[in-house]
Amino acid sequence: MDYRQYIGKKYPYISDTDAEVLIGKSKEMFFNIKYPYRKPELRPTEVPENYKYWITSCIDEIIARDGTANAISYSENGISFNFDRSDLSLGLVNQIVPEAGSCRWWTL
């Protein structure tokens, strides 16, 4: 999937440089959740095919949380906002099953 084309169609006001940053950030978040104990140089370089939709959802959520969309409370007269401090929603994070450890088969 061409993520840059997806961002260009859905968010035409985002520059190519910002699109690259969003794609990189989304992939890095994925790899940190999927492979929490694996060194970066030992991680795969591409997102598995069954998680391609997750990357687009992550991009959408990063863009949505950039403004007041992540406000968890608001007061009218005193004009007060309280914001959620997480980068991603728990629902999106829970869609990824982390891999930990390794499995080796020994022949006797």
Residue range 26-75, pLDDT digits in tens: 999 999 999 888 888 888 889 999 999 999 999 998 888 776 555 666 66
pLDDT of residue 99: 85
Q: How many CB atoms are located within 10 Å of the residue 74 CB?
A: 10
Q: What is the mean pLDDT of residues 94-108?
A: 70
| Whole-number pLDDT of residue 108 | 45
- Please state, for a pLDDT cut of 70, what percent of the chain lies above it: 74
pLDDT at residue 79 is higher than 90: no
Upper half-sphere CA count for residue 42 (Cβ side, 13 Å): 10
pLDDT for position 1? 66
Residue identified by tokens 């969309």 is: 69
Residue 101 DSSP one-character state:
S
pLDDT > 90: what percent of the chain? Answer: 46
